[in-house]
Each structure stands twice: as structure tokens, then as C-alpha cells.
Amino acid sequence: MGLLIGDEAPNFEADTTEGRINFHDYINGSWAVLFSHPKNFTPVCTTELGFTSKLKPEFEKRGVKVLGLSVDPIEDHKAWAGDIEETQGTALNFPLIADPDGEVAKKYAMIHPNADNTLTVRSVFVIGPDKKIKLKIEYPASTGRNFNEVLRVIDSLQLTANHQVATPVNWQDGEDVIIVPALSNEEAKKKFPDGWNEVKPYLRIVKQPGA
């Protein structure tokens, strides 16, 4: 069985395009996104890494450190970075992990033998400051990821970690949220003194805290 939400993200040491890191030391109380790409010098991955580089201000605003990974050697990473800047109009600005022996990929179950024996699928892990896995998504190699969705989920995770709310279907930052069922009406009155819309006793809609 692979890693599950709530599990501690495995630690590792690895070479990256920004030097050697110890993963737990590197994230050091921050949120983190760790995502794998199947292979360097491939078209979909090139677009993903370019777009993620453009999103750096959005990740920084949320206190998130981003790391990419493939099973290619560090020399290939450095050469590929030039192609990414040339074709995507932005320089790579986050570490790419070199995992030529597949040690990190195996720890995170990024290699799916029925898809490919050696290349990683497009895994995405969002890891909280407590080093616990908060989200995992897996895409096939042929489908590029939606990193705007990754940001949306991080907004939800950070909001719900600090307030006793959940986010409804298709929620976007700033929209109404749901009071969690575990919070009684008496307790909710203290946290949400302006009240809420009770559609059902278990479905209480309230303005997003801090919005």
C-alpha cells in the first residue's frame, strides 16, 4: 500500500539543481509541494515546470516550498533547465530532485509498474508544516496537471487547518464555506457571531473567515 493522507512524508537526502538537501530540514516548518515528472526533455513536463515557475509568487504568498523530481541524473536536469527557459519564457526557480536510482520515487510510490517499470507517474503531494501528507493526486504521464487546482486545494487546506470549516464543491478563495458538523450550534455562535445560513442541521453555510 502506498502513502496515505495523514501519513508522515518520508524523509530523504538527494541532489537537486539547487544543491544537496535533506527534505525534512529543507521544508523546515513550511508547507511543501513535491511533484514528480516521468522524464526530462519531454513536452508535457516542460510545460508543467515552466508554468510552476511562473506561479512562484503564488506559492511564496502561501508559504509553500515547491520541489520537482524525476529519475534522471542531475546533469540532465541542468541541461533541461535551459530548454524550459527558452520555450516557456521563464527560468526554473525551484529545486529539481535527481533520483537516478529511484530511491525517493520508491518511498513515495511514484513508480506504477503497470504503467511503466522505471518512469514515475505525475504524482503530487502537498505536505503540511507537521510533515504530514495533506493531499495526494496522481495523473497519467500523458495528462498535464492543473496547478491552479493545486493552489486552490492549498488555500482550502490552510483555511480549514485554522478554522473549523470545510470548503464545498468548486469552492474558490473568498467564497462561503461550511461549518464542520463536529461544531455544535452553541460553539459555532462563539466562532461565528454574525450567524450562518442553516440549510440543514448538518449544512450550515457561513462567510469565509478572514475574507
Catalytic entry in 27, 34, 45, 110: 45
Q: pLDDT tens digit string along 161-211?
A: 999 999 999 999 999 999 999 999 999 999 999 999 999 999 999 999 988
pLDDT for the residue numbered 64: 98
The answer to whether residues 191 and 185 touch, using CB atoms and an 8 Å cutoff, is no
Q: Is 80 exceeded by the pLDDT of residue 117?
A: no
pLDDT band at 91 (very low <50, low <70, confident <90, very high): very high
Q: Is 90 exceeded by the pLDDT of residue 119?
A: no
Phi–psi pair at 17, nearest 5 degrees: -65, -10
List 8's β-bridge partners, or say none: 132
pLDDT band at 73 (very low <50, low <70, confident <90, very high): very high
Lowest mean pLDDT among 42-46, 112-116, 182-186: 112-116
Global pTM value: 0.94
- 133 labelled catalytic: no
For the chain, give the percent of residues with pLDDT over 70.
Answer: 99
Q: Is 70 exceeded by the pLDDT of residue 27?
A: yes
What SS3 string covers the chain? CCCCCCCECCCCEEEECCEEEEHHHHHCCCEEEEEECCCCCCHHHHHHHHHHHHCHHHHHHCCEEEEEEECCCHHHHHHHHHHHHHHHCCCCCCCEEECCCCHHHHHCCCECCCCCCCCECEEEEEECCCCEEEEEEEECCCCCCCHHHHHHHHHHHHHHHHCCEECCCCCCCCCCEEECCCCCHHHHHHHCCCCCEEEECCEEEECCCCC
What are the chain's domains? 13-144 (3.40.30.10), 163-206 (3.30.1020.10)
Task: Give Cα 181 to chain centroid, integer Å.
Answer: 27
